[in-house]
Amino acid sequence: MTHPEHQRRAYLQAMGIDVWLPQDAPEPAAASSDTGAGFADELDWGELRQCVSDCTRCELAGSRTQTVFGIGNQNADWMIIGEAPGAEEDRRGEPFVGRAGKMLDEMLRAIGQSRDAVFIANILKCRPPNNRDPEPSEAAECRAYLERQIALVQPKIILAVGKIAAQNLLGCDDPVGRMRGRPHDHNGIPLVVTYHPAYLLRSPSQKRKSWSDLCLAKAQAAEVAV
Ligand code: URA
């Protein structure tokens, strides 16, 4: 249920009516099942998928072909998190299916994993026009979906590929070079940062560092009790 005072103010504002509050009036709590940060916390897989596919929380809903929910093993040990769908992903409704996806497949194969064994998702479920970076507000609106996916999968390790995924998940502005090479924590789940596969296609000399990140992630996953 939406907080009634919130609902009233939102309605009045939408009608173009100024809402005057007494100076010391406390902000009404944003307590709502559909507007709060954890609005997806109770959803099962089917409900979550439906909610994502119907989502209109940001303006990307107007330009997408379809949402890109994520794919893979719902009980995966590894969760791979990228940035946002590109043109090919937007067309096919599946993450990492373009050239970067092939590179990601190779990275997974190198550590004895496969697309079917892991769960792959993105910070955003919709493609930003012209593949621009996600806006912080878009990432914020989409965050509850990803957090619910993480909570449902309960992976042993999260691999954040690229700056956008890592910065959003770790809540910082650091470059990948500073975030990679050591384990982080995401609500009790070990998280390792590495370069985005699209970057590795452009800068193959960084593959060596990415390989060591993958080994670190593998070691972290092995430390988690079954
Ligand atoms: N790049 C990403 O970060 N995610 C995709 O799904 C495709 C390309």
For the stretch 131-162, pLDDT in tens is: 899 999 999 999 999 999 999 999 999 999 99
Q: Tell me whether residue 119 is exposed, middle or buried, using C-beta atoms within 10 angstroms of its C-beta: 0 to 12, 13 to 18, 19 or more.
A: buried
Give the position, in ligand 1's atom list, of the atom nearest the Cα of 196.
Answer: 3
State the pLDDT at residue 217.
98
This prediction's pTM: 0.85
> Buried b / exposed e across 98-112, counting CB within 10 Å, b at 16+?
bebbebbbebbeebe
Interatomic CA distance for residues 68 and 165, integer angstroms: 16
Q: Tell how far the Cα of 28 is from the centroid of ligand 1, in angstroms.
A: 38
Under 8 Å between Cβ of 148 and 42: no
- Test site for ligand 1: of 71, 81, 96, 97, most ligand atoms within 8 A of the Cβ: 96
| Helix and strand numbers, DSSP H then E, in the chain | 9, 6
Residue 209 has pLDDT above 70, yes or no: yes
pLDDT band with cut points at 50, 70 and 90 for residue 33: very low
Q: Tell how far the Cα of 226 is from the centroid of ligand 1, in angstroms.
A: 29
Residue 107 has pLDDT above 80, yes or no: yes
Token couple for 116: 């079917």
Give the position, in ligand 1's atom list, of the atom nearest the Cα of 165.
Answer: 3
SS3 122: strand
pLDDT band with cut points at 50, 70 and 90 for residue 121: very high
Question: Which residues contact residue 193 at a Cβ distance below 8 angstroms, ignoring those fewer than 6 apart?
Answer: 159, 160, 165, 166, 170, 176, 179, 180, 184, 213
Interatomic CA distance for residues 155 and 189, integer angstroms: 7
Q: Which domains does the chain have, with CATH numbers?
A: 70-225 (3.40.470.10)
pLDDT band with cut points at 50, 70 and 90 for residue 20: very low
The least confident of 30-39, 94-103, 149-158, 178-187 is: 30-39
Q: Tell me whether residue 25 is exposed, middle or buried, using C-beta atoms within 10 angstroms of its C-beta: 0 to 12, 13 to 18, 19 or more.
A: exposed
How many C-beta atoms surround the C-beta of residue 68 within 10 A? 27
Interatomic CA distance for residues 205 and 39, integer angstroms: 42
- In the numeric block, the tokens 């621009």 are attached to 132
Report the pocket of ligand 1 as residue ranges, CB < 6 Å: 82-86, 89, 95-96, 100, 122
Taking residues 47-71, report their average pLDDT: 98
